[in-house]
Amino acid sequence: MKRLYNVLFLCTGNSARSIMAEGIMNYRGRPHFTAFSAGSHPSGAVRPEALRQLEMARIPVEGLRSKSWDEFASPGAPKLDFVFTVCDNAANEVCPVWPGQPMTAHWGVPDPAAVEGSATQIEKAFREAFFILERRITLFLLLPFASLDRLALKQELDNIGQTGAALAEEKR
């Protein structure tokens, strides 16, 4: 693998799932992948529970912030190679046109920020979301990019989005 790929993880609030995915990809995917995250309606704050999951995995959290997807649809933004939606709502939202036509896939994960209950229940929801994302990103990084044509790569990306989907459905 010779080139650098830019990956954007999209969610509605950009406070938990997409933030964790950005951190995981930047840590596990270096030096070939640079990840970003954004939200269609960013909350403006990163959930401390999401940062805690990253820190427990010894993944750096510096520079992670909640931001709008507009930053990545404007002139001068990084050219995106992959765009993944990681929240249930984002799959039905109208996404802006991305310059360069990146590969896209929906990797939906239940929203841990929506969980109500004890601190233990909330932490468990964040931990489960973290592990689903980590598993999907690991599978993504194992793909033989050089030997896959665009159609085969798209199929693999969609298949990865189903990894952990049954577990996620059981939790709902």
Residues that are catalytic: 11, 87, 95
**Amino acid identity for residue 126 in this structure:** F
- The answer to whether residues 117 and 95 touch, using CB atoms and an 8 Å cutoff, is no
Instruction: With beta carbons less than 8 A apart as the criterion, state whether 110 and 168 touch.
Output: yes
- The total number of residues shown for the chain amounts to 172
- Number of Cβ within 10 Å of residue 106's Cβ equals 17
Decide: 8 and 38 in contact? Cβ < 8 Å: yes
Quickly tell me which residue has 């929240």 as its tokens: 87
